[in-house]
Amino acid sequence: MMKLGTRLAAVTVAVSTLLGSASYAQDTQEHYGMVVFLKGSEFFNWSYAGFQDAAATVGATTELQGPADWDASAEARAVDQLVAKGVKGIAVTAGDADTLAGSINAAMAAGVPTLTFDSDSPNSDRLLFVGTNNYNAGFAAGKAIGEEHGDEARVGVSLIPGLDSITSRLEGFKAGLASVAPGAQIVATVNDEGDLQKAETVNTAMLQANPEINVIFCAHGNPATGALSATRNVGRMEGANKISVLAWSLDVPILQGIEDGEYGATVAQNPYMMGVMSFWMLWSAAHPTQFDSLTSPGMGQVPTADLDTGVKILRQGDPAVQALMSPPKI
């Protein structure tokens, strides 16, 4: 993250070379929109910062829309309003896949390039999805645990069952763990229901019932604080029997906990890159070349496959931790 500016510059040069002069956007002041389901959250502030920064390199303007509280219907209305406003492209993170599909389809039918990022609406007509491949991210997490703990890893998992994204993460985690530590085991899983207090309760019970656990894998963003409290509750937050908690979060308190040595590591998605690449995909779609898009005739070239923006396993001492502890203010 310390080199985000350098990476953005490289992306800008590459895309500008492929697409031609940036003067067109500067002359016409093109306008693009981003729609999120939790406006004001640190995660989406990172995404919008990337979107803004990429747009600024070609003189385009942007706006951020969406509800401050989770409301997929409000998101859908925001997409409709941006289409009516005449934006050149829309990036939307789908608070609910089915609720957003109609507005995404209408935007595409109106000739407004529209893609999803971070959270997909796969059955819609969206251009593509830009974000974390959950299986790959889970694989990276499992591999990291296997490399650190080897065959002695005994893992408890805190999750919400039934969600496709978390199921994919867990499948990837199992494969990544087995790839480097075939003797490692997943001992138990608990349903934290996405609630911090519930996470503490169920993880405490899991550790009491399974004292061999030496790692807790938090398969989504909410349970890390509760899982850490659970290790304290059973007297294993420090010392030789310390339980390592692998979080899945970029929140500043979690990052501070990484720096303080409380958490073993965190799985860091790259919301800034999601914003950067979302803009460039919309820009490309809004500027057709002599050959139409294979998937969206009349629009410019975009990949036919989704774009995986990847993850990084952040540990104590990684310079990226400090960089991420100063999220952008939008």
For residue 163, the model assigns a pLDDT of: 84
- Amino acid, res. 178: A
Instruction: Give the mean pLDDT of the chain.
Output: 92
**Token output for 2:** 């310390």
pLDDT digits 0-9 by tens, 68-108:
998 999 999 999 999 999 999 999 999 999 999 999 999 99
Per-residue confidence band for 11, with pLDDT thresholds at 50, 70 and 90? very low
> Cα separation of 247 and 270, whole Å?
15
Does the pLDDT value for residue 1 go beyond 60?
A: no
> What's the pLDDT band for 118 if we cut at 50, 70, 90?
very high
Q: How far apart are CA 67 and CA 18, in angstroms?
A: 36
**pLDDT surpasses 70 at 64:** yes
Please list, in sequence order, all residues whose beta carbon lies within 8 angstroms of the beta carbon of residue 140, skipping any fewer than 6 positions away.
Answer: 172, 176, 267, 311, 313
The reported pLDDT for the residue numbered 186 is: 99
pLDDT of the residue at 70: 86
Residue 196 is encoded by which pair of tokens?
Answer: 């911090």
Burial class of residue 308 (count of CB atoms within 10 Å of its CB; 0-12, 13-18, 19+): middle
Confidence of residue 308 (pLDDT cuts 50, 70, 90): very high
pLDDT of residue 27: 58
CB 231 within 8 A of CB 216: yes
Amino acid at 36: V
Q: pLDDT tens across 257-305, in order?
A: 999 999 999 999 999 999 999 999 999 999 999 998 888 899 999 998 9
Contact 271, 47 (CB under 8 A): yes
Mapping DSSP onto H, E and C, the string for 146-186 reads HHHHHHHCEEEEEECCCCHHHHHHHHHHHHHHHHHCCCCEE
Number of residues assigned to the chain: 330
| Helix 4-19 / helix 42-56 crossing angle, nearest 10 deg | 50
Token representation of residue 225: 């604080």
Tokens for 121, please give them. Answer: 């609406």
Which pLDDT belongs to residue 247? 98
Q: Tell whether the model's pLDDT for residue 314 goes beyond 80.
A: yes
pLDDT at residue 9 greater than cutoff 60 = no
Task: Answer yes or no: are the C-beta atoms of 250 and 269 closer than 8 Å.
Answer: yes
Mind listing the domains of the chain with CATH numbers?
A: 4-132+270-309 (3.40.50.2300), 134-269 (3.40.50.2300)
pLDDT at 68: 92
Query: Cα 219–221–222 angle (5° rounding)?
Result: 100
Query: How far is the C-alpha of 235 from the C-alpha of 241, rounded, in Å?
Result: 9
* Among 278, 275, 270, CA closest to 136: 270
Q: pLDDT for 32-60, tens place per residue?
A: 999 999 999 999 999 999 999 999 999 99
pLDDT score for 295: 85
The confidence band for 6, taking pLDDT boundaries of 50, 70 and 90, is very low
Q: How many CA atoms lie within 13 A of 317 on its CB side?
A: 1
pLDDT at residue 14 is higher than 50: no
State the pLDDT at residue 201: 98
